[in-house]
Structure 1
């Protein structure tokens, strides 16, 4: 059974908050990381900030189209992701945090895809597209991790 419009908006709000938290953590990590080995990770995270913010914008637009309200800063829930490490040379910790964030985003988009199946094809299509982006990031960062695990 498909979720109600209100339930879909709530699922989208969760995804929206996750995307904003990702933007904050990627910004922190792309700035804070130190060391020669960190440069490629920093560049990748900097590029991903724009894409993740774009995801949040698309989710916000869809929430509004469904009659919901986009939450402001007082209503955004964050703190569920692995936080930037205190040790600024912990490149592996950052990579693992990115992998965790991408896996969580994929899980949330999967929930929305299932909740909208057969009822809200626009939201479902949007989340399939966003999930594909997250899967691409996941593969990239798993590749980075393999280089460090050798």
Structure 2
């Protein structure tokens, strides 16, 4: 291998001192921050909508398999809330403001909030699986778009994506797929 790795520590130190007011954002962040923050706010909205849908489903679910399905919905609801908080924390680190305005959540969310009959557990499971599949696809695209331009945000998205894939697998299992 002919490439050598060298760090210009003097330049890095000088830049860190000169741009201290930019917090965690350094010249290594190569993306349009305004666009990235907008996309992360869409993620926040999506996760809050998913949290609300799962929470509502966990509370109202009824029928013979209610206990098992409601427990899964409650677990997913808690994890979706954590996902939204992680995306919001990253927005804050990037110098933006997380948008949790309830009036615009559904407009910014990638998924829909679908209310179902409390006795139709299969439809609840299917609607949540559709939502997970939407989230998986959009988060994959976001992670690819970020690429190497912002490794920290990409890792946040990839860690959320991993858990969303687990949710989809859980729902598929409950549906017997």
TM-score, scaled relative to structure 1: 0.89
Contact 2:45 2:100 in 1 (8 A): no
User: Could you give the per-residue CA deviations for residues 25-82 of structure 1, whole angstroms, max 9, x where no partner exists?
Assistant: 1111001111122221101111112111111110000011112111132564216425
Contact 1:82 1:97 in 2 (8 A): no
Deviations 1:112-136 (A, max 9, x none): 2112112100000111111000000
The alpha-carbon distance between structure 1 residues 64 and 75, as it changes in their structure 2 partners (threshold 3 A), is farther
1:110 is matched with 140
Alignment of 1:38-117 (within 5 A): 38-74=66-102, 76-78=104-106, 80-85=111-116, 87-117=117-147
CA distance in 2, matches of 1:13, 1:144: 31
1:130 to 152, 160, 167: 160
Could you list the runs of 5+ residues in structure 2 that have no partner in the other structure?
Answer: 1-29
SS at match of 2:97: coil
Query: Aligned-pair RMSD on alpha carbons?
Result: 1.7
Name structure 1 gaps, 5 residues minimum. Answer: none
1:86-143 Cα distance to aligned partner (Å, 9 max, x none): x211011100111011112112211221121121000001111110000001011011
Q: Contact conserved, 1:27 with 1:49, CA < 8 A, in 2?
A: yes
Q: Tell me which protein shows more helix as a share of its residues.
A: 1
| Number of equivalent positions | 145
Larger Rg: 2
Relative contact order higher in (CA < 8 Å, ≥ 6 apart): 1
In the superposition, the TM-score normalised over structure 2's length comes to 0.76
Q: Secondary structure at the match of 2:176?
A: helix
